[in-house]
Amino acid sequence: MADLKKQELSLFAPEILRPAVWQSFRKLTPRLVIKNPVMFVVEIGAVLTTLIWLRDLVAPTAQSQPLWFTANVSVWLWFTVVFANFAEAVAEGRGKAQAANLRKMRKDTIARRLVNGKREEHVPASELRKGDVVVIEAGEFIPGDGEVIEGIASVDESAITGESAPVVREAGGDRSAVTGGTRVLSDRIVVRITTNPGESFLDRMISLVEGAKRQKTPNEIALNILLAGLTLVFLFACVTLVPLALYSNISISVTVIVALLVCLIPTTIGGLLSAIGIAGMDRLVRKNILAMSGRAVEAAGDVDTLLLDKTGTITLGNRMATQFISAPGVTMTRLADAAQLASLADETPEGRSIVVLAKESFGLRGRPIADHPQFIPFSAKTQMSGIDFTDNGTLRRIRKGSVLAIRQHVAGIGGSFPTEVGSAVEAVSRQGGTPLVVCDDAQVLGVIQLKDVVKGGIKERFAQLRQMGIKTVMITGDNPITAAAIAAEAGVDDFMAEAKPEDKLARIRAEQAGGHLIAMTGDGTNDAPALAQADVAVAMNSGTQAAKEAGNMVDLDSNPTKLLEVVEIGKQLLMTRGVLTTFSIANDVAKYFAIIPAMFMTVFPEIAPLNVMHLASPQSAILSAVIFNAIIIVLLIPLSLRGVKYRPVGAGALLARSLLIYGLGGIIAPFVGIKFIDMTLVAMGLV
Amino acid sequence: MTTIGWLQILIFSGAILALTKPIGVWMFRIFEGDRQPLPRFFGPIERFLYRLCGVDPKEGQDWKQYTLALLLFSVIPLLVTYAIERLQAVLPLNPQNLGAVGPDLAFGTAVSFTTNTNWQAYTGEATMSYLTQMAGLAWHNFISVTSGIAVMLAIARGLTYRLQPGAAKTIGNFWVDTIRGLVYFLLPISIVLALVLVSQGVIQNFSSYIEATTLEGAKQTLAMGPVASQIAIKQIGTNGGGFFNANSAHPFEGGNPLANFIEMVAILAIAAGQTYMFGRMARSQKHGWALFSAMAFFFLIGVTTAYYFETRPNSNTAMQGLAVDQTAGNLEGKEIRYGIANSVTWATATTDASNGSVNSMHDSFTPLAGLVPLANIQFGEVIFGGVGAGMYGMLVMVLLSVFIAGLMVGRTPEYLGKKIESREVKLAMLYVLIFPLIILYFSGWSAVVPYGLSSLNNAGPHGLSEILYAFSSAAGNNGSAFAGLNANTPWYNITQGLTMLFGRFWMMIPVMAIAGSMLGKKVAPPSLGTFPTDGTLFVLLLVGVVAIVGALTFFPALSLGPIVEHFLAQAGKVY
């Protein structure tokens, strides 16, 4: 089975490299190269120099450059294009490998289609249309994407998510969506198919990882325009240099002027641009997130407000008992014991956590209770649960429940509610906890504090986000006091208490009107409007179909905390483009110092001081610059596929660092590189 | 280099710094404030002009209407000036009975003044009648300035206005901006400045030329005219077109050293003040100062370089044997009453600011000192730049800088909270492209054809520098000349005319379009993730982008001109 996580291929695995090499030559077709204006200019230059070489081979003229020189320039220009193609092919390679695995999953299963809701007929899964209803039983594959309309089943979704633990899918509620290609492990469900053939989740996933329908993202388009503009500027500068040099009786050969042009235009970023984009999408896929468009990934980098659901994102799923507070004259052990007894039959996570807390704090174990204990289950009406049993002949009625319920219960059987317990209750509420009061008959024993447990490390994460300039807003159905306490503990910037789905939507609209870009996660159908409104909306794969359709990303692992990583990947994508652009342009300085003296040296030997690198000869200088220009593309492929590391520091510090490494470094590196290549050429006796 | 020299440069820089805020505040109040700065005197004039022109000052224009008004207000005056030049022989105020101006020169000159270039291929006192000077040319000295200001206002508004959703996307009213610019700004300053200059020896009369006898007894004709009134606006409006051929090196035009200093300050003061005004519009005075700092950085580097090379013994070893005191530096082509420091300061300022007036001959500078004015122009006239034009040019550079910086910090680039998207990048690149294209295209052509080379007086790389300078000056709407090139030929009049037109309007229109597309954008509030545009890092980045765009484009051409000339001179070669 295709398991995206486990079968991850390393960047330069042979099964990626081999086809990539072949692809990089196949991509020399002008039809494909023309999409990249910078590389197209290089290819034209390569064709031109090749033709000149052929002409000189047949009929050399007096002005001709030596054949070896033209041949070398020409070959390295071809290499420049090939290297750029190679970068793109490697980036696509991993996606293709994943797509091949996914395709294997799309085996044609036989679906059991229900006709008129009763009769079953067997049809190939590929013939299922939207709206068909199918039955799936344990051991069978789900034939297509759909929504459970009847039944409950555990489903193995490891094929899609890589997560081996089965998940529960049931009709109604927020866990009703099933994905084609996954397998039902137990029970029987009836599913309504929601996609037509070719549009299924799997199909979309395949086309996404393959990059088949990759469209340029807005920032990529803008950058492309900038690069095309720079290419034009350098084209003017190079072409007009011919007559300007002719003024001083310097005749510059076409080969040399093409070499200068190719060195000056931003080939490094031009050659790596599409690889960067593909690799960015790929990084998301490897995190098990499917982005429906590259636009969404870029938008993730721009997001400045995160709306986060409290439960599951900021806190662990459920409240837990964290503390017992006993009433005056009651020992802690007695309170814990009573609390444990009252919770023995309570299968809710809260109930279990009380049993566990009593065990851990006071060594109390759950024990069998003699004489037909009677468990009183929790009901919405009574707001209490507990146990009635006979202890040494006397009937004990232990109850735990909300303050109000216990107060009434105790009053009803002639007890009193100690004021100390009342203030303990208030204190717990103030700290964001939920108080449960425990009583044994008419005596109030004390308070159990239930609290949301904030996920470990989340506070640091939010602090980082703040450094990145991103505001976090916690959304919760809790009352404002509880919400404020948790918000403070988790370190979010803002919170929305007692929030209803409509409030979420209203909040998003309000933030957007203020110029903010919002990201959120959601899984329920009632989240759909807010997901649709948010700029970046990550739907949980476990969520409903409506939520998935409203969002622009789907997280296959259904882990809401991953939103933070999405933001980082978005930023990384833009940063990688930015730094390589800077690097590419900064490189030009050294190339000028290599080529300009070389061009004019014959007529103006006095210009020699400009040859600061002391390159061996004019031809060696030009060739070294061209070779450097080609090789640097290959050297930067790993960086462009991995992306530059994002650091959660302010924009100013980030930029200063990038400018230092890629701006200043981009000026210095080619001086070293070109000199090195020049020395190598001399050592090899080539020049 | 002398202490006095450095002191003069320092005092000049200090004067610009001191004037930046008051001028900025004044301009802000004129164009953006609620209350005009001189209402009691000038309010009635403003209102009268609105009535006269049928302008409703409350009516806004969108960027297209605004641009159309701007173009009409340029083309029609262009044609009128052409007509005056051609008909000056039959028109009044022509005491010297000067004949009609030839068609190509009339075209070149009309374009030159319309575009705020004021390139003069003619000798003013021998070619243009008083009427042509005043009605044909001096008039443009005012309206070409207000046009520049108008475009700057448009883009500044586009970048800084925060429109309510559904609000009309109007960018101001061209006629209102023009009238206010004239009434509250240019006319008052010009009048005051002209009077000050008259007090310092600059002449102002309508008399015919005077025959004088020199001390040696020789006869000499002294040209006269209404000079001071034209010089005031020539300086503050970054026009630069002199009344006399020698421009401000002429004693009647440049006056005494104090007048020289005042004229020099007038070159940069308004352009500097615009940074302050923009800062106020952008609600970030620090951002305004950041722009100022980037410009000041280039100015200081330029003036230091030029001063250094002009005060050294002549770099040309062949010259060092001549009977000239080499320790005094290179005094050729300079007025002794101004000296080297004032000459290089003026040369740097006038080319930084697309002014183009001169008080020394740039052609006579040593090669690397001469590189300074040439490179200043080729940086795109954004180092303070022309009134209005320098600011909007710099803002285009800012957009490009912020675009690259934005990517590097991992966000869709934004400037003052507004996103920079492909449309703006496209327009900015259009703006950037046209400039090297026209300069290099016409220079390259002129460098290899007989009709281009025949008017060249210098051989060797210096000749090429002269051609490059001429087209750079025209494209940058500067107007200063490297001399040595007789530009009054049909070829140069026409190509220079075209270069000036493209360099002005082909660059203004993309700027207006950027103004239009930025105007309605949503404003994102700044956060820690936003790249701050008011610190040292931003200044460095901006300087880097301006330098790289300019240097990378022109380095090959410059290396065949002043750079190789420098190396040849060191080897003792002369042409």
Which residues, including other chains, have CB under 8 Å from residue A486's CB and lie 6 or more apart?
A310, A314, A315, A432, A452, A454, A474, A476, A478, A495
pLDDT of residue A4: 43
Sequence-ordered list of residues with C-beta below 8 angstroms from that of A609, at least 6 positions apart, any chain: B567
Measured between beta carbons, which residues in chain A are less than 8 angstroms from residue B379? none
Bin B353: left if φ > 0, else alpha if -120 < ψ < 50, else beta: alpha
Residue B303: pLDDT above 60? yes
Mean pLDDT of A442-460: 86
pLDDT winner (highest mean) among A72-81, A203-212, A345-354: A72-81
Q: Does B317 touch chain A (CB under 8 A)?
A: no
Looking at residue B345, its pLDDT comes to: 96
Please return the burial class of A268, using the count of CB atoms within 10 Å of its CB with bins 0-12, 13-18 and 19+: buried
Give me the total of CB pairs closer than 8 Å, taking one residue from chain A and one from chain B. Answer: 219
Predicted pLDDT of residue A185: 85
Query: What does the block give as tokens for B32?
Result: 């953006």
Query: Across all residues in chain A, what is the average pLDDT?
Result: 86
**Dihedral sign, Cα of residue A553, residue A558, residue A564, residue A569:** negative
Rg of chain A over Cα atoms, rounded to whole angstroms, equals 34
Tell me if A514 and B525 make a contact (CB, 8 A cut-off): yes
What does the block give as tokens for B234? 């020539």
Beta strands in B127-227 (DSSP E): 210-213, 219-222
Q: Which of B559, B571, B573 sits opposite A600 (nearest CB)?
A: B559
Query: How far is CA B436 from its chain centroid?
Result: 17
Judged by DSSP in three states, B514 sits in: helix
Of B559, B542, B565, nearest to A592 (Cα)?
Answer: B559
Mean pLDDT of chain B: 92
Query: Is there a contact between A183 and A141 (Cβ–Cβ < 8 Å)?
Result: yes
Alpha-carbon gap: B561 to the closest alpha carbon of chain A (Å): 9
Q: Exactly one of A145, A156, A309, A478 is catalytic; which is it?
A: A309
Interface of B with A in 233-292 (CB under 8 A): none
Q: How far is CA A647 from the centre of its chain?
A: 16
Q: Which of residues 349-378 of A touch B (CB under 8 A)?
A: none
pLDDT above 70 for A9: no
The DSSP letter of residue A322 is E
Lowest-confidence pick of A262-271, A304-313, A435-444, B233-242:
A304-313
**DSSP character for A527?**
G
pLDDT exceeds cutoff 80 at A638: yes
* pLDDT band, residue A163 (cuts 50/70/90): low
Residues contacting A577, CB < 8 A, separation 6+: A219, A220, A223, A269, A273, A276, B407
Distance (Å, whole) CA B359 – CA B262: 13
pLDDT band with cut points at 50, 70 and 90 for residue A369:
low
Residue partners of A241: CB distance under 8 A and separation at least 6 = A252, A257, A260, B444, B556, B557, B560
Decide if A606 and B571 are in contact by the 8 Å CB cutoff: yes
What pLDDT does A6 receive?
40
Q: How far is CA B473 from CA B40, B347, B467, in A?
A: 41, 13, 10
Dihedral of alpha carbons A146, A147, A152, A158, sign: positive
**Band of the pLDDT at A1, cuts 50, 70, 90?**
very low
Cβ-based neighbour number of residue B535 at 10 Å: 15
d(CA B327, CA B313) in angstroms, rounded, equals: 6
- Chain A: give the shortest CA distance to residue B398, in Å: 14
Question: What's residue A633's pLDDT?
Answer: 96
Q: Give pLDDT, residue A263.
A: 96
Interface list for A 441-500 with B (CB within 8 A)? 466-471
Q: Mean per-residue pLDDT for B556-570?
A: 93
Read out DSSP for B249-300?
Answer: GSHHHH-SHHHHHHHHHHHHHHHHHHHHHHHHHTT-HHHHHHHHHHHHHHHH
Q: Is the Cβ pair B444, A242 closer than 8 Å?
A: yes
Q: Which of A75-79, A347-351, B229-233, B244-248 has the lowest mean pLDDT?
A: A347-351
Q: What is the pLDDT of residue B315?
A: 67
Please tell me the distance from the alpha carbon of residue A514 to that of residue A304, in angstroms, as a whole number: 11
pLDDT at A107: 63
Closest-CA distance, B421 to chain A, in angstroms, reads 6
**Smallest CA–CA distance from B399 into chain A, residue:** A226
CB contact under 8 Å between B412 and A301, yes or no, is: yes
Span A421-442, mean pLDDT?
87
In this prediction, residue A112 has a pLDDT band, given cuts at 50, 70 and 90, of confident
Tens-place pLDDT, residues B62-83: 999 999 999 999 999 999 999 9
Q: Is A126 helix (H, G, I), strand (E, B) or coil?
A: helix
Please report which helix (H) or strand (E) contains residue A156, including its range: strand A146-156
Higher-confidence residue of A372 and B18: namely B18
CB A245 within 8 A of CB A252: yes
Mean pLDDT of A27-31: 90
Which of A237, A264, A578 lies at the smallest CB-CB distance from B436? A237
**pLDDT exceeds 50 at position B24:** yes
Q: Which residue of B has its CA nearest to A573?
A: B410
**Residue A494 among the catalytic residues:** no
pLDDT band at B153, cuts 50/70/90? very high
pLDDT in tens, B182-217: 999 999 999 999 999 999 989 998 888 889 898 888
Is A235 part of the contact surface with chain B (CB cutoff 8 Å)? Answer: no
Q: Which of residues 392-451 of A touch B (CB under 8 A)?
A: none
- B371 vs B349: CA distance, rounded Å: 14
Give the model's pLDDT for residue A5. 42
pLDDT at B175 > cutoff 80: yes
Whether the predicted pLDDT of A561 surpasses 90? no
Determine the pLDDT at residue A7: 45
CA distance B284 to B393: 19
- How large is the average pLDDT for residues B526-541? 88
Residue A244: pLDDT band (50, 70, 90) is very high
- Local confidence band at A240 (pLDDT 50, 70, 90 cut-offs): very high
- Model confidence pLDDT, tens digit, residues B314-346: 767 666 677 777 778 888 889 988 999 999 999
User: How far is the C-alpha of B320 from the C-alpha of A413, rounded, in Å?
Assistant: 119
Q: How many helices (H) and strands (E) does chain B have?
A: 23, 4
Q: Which of A116-125, A205-214, A575-584 has the highest mean pLDDT?
A: A575-584
Instruction: Scan residues 20-59 of A and list those with Cβ closer than 8 Å to B.
Output: none
Q: Which residue of A has its CA nearest to B554?
A: A237
